[in-house]
Structure 1
Amino acid sequence: MTTTPASIAALYFDCWERKDFTDLAPHLSPDCTFTGVFGVAQGPDEFLRGLTGMAAGTDSLDVRKRISDKTDVITWFDLGMGGAPATAVANWTHVENGLITAVNVTFDPREILAASA
């Protein structure tokens, strides 16, 4: 079973690329939160609904670097959405006892918003 923060973060991005979060769902804490540029989510249902929506609009996802310790993982990646040029994104995933408790994401959304206008 995938239990280290780094392996859970890798699973998160693998599921995103496959646009199927079935394997990720068991690794979400009942009180997990997501905070990002396009919104916030509380709990696994909202978390997965938001991530599924992002995945549906994703054209490309290229992980550049992942750094982790005992509870936290920072993943730096390029995200292509809606025909916009790839945008650099930082994703901070916090894991406790093998469960994602929080994900915080930041990036400059201007290219993505301009492409969707």
Structure 2
Amino acid sequence: MKIIYAIVSSDDGNRVTDVLNEHQFSVTKLATTGGFLKKGNSTLMIGTDDGQVEEVITLIKDTCGKRQKITCNVPAPNIASVSAGYMMMPMTVELGGATIFVTDVERFEKI
């Protein structure tokens, strides 16, 4: 038995959970915060048999794969006096993706 920890953006958390549930995988979703960008994430915990790990990872990849979005760079609030002449420039940012950990489960009980 394995437990899969998948850290996805909070935007993708519900979609991934729904897809995994549709494929009969039980998921526990935790609201977490990333350390680097301090953005909201969802950490999904999925317990599964060894032979189904690749299926779970494929479903996660297909649901929250990396994608690009064009956004505008907004000035910080502490430079409001300078922002009158500040031009917002569109920039492309990468969204989505997942960080996945797979670990062995020594013992599992469902009570």
TM above 0.5, one fold? Answer: no
Range class of TM-score, shorter chain: 0.3 to 0.5
Larger-Rg structure: 2
TM-score of the pair, normalised by structure 2: 0.33
TM-score of the pair, normalised by structure 1: 0.32
More strand by share: 1
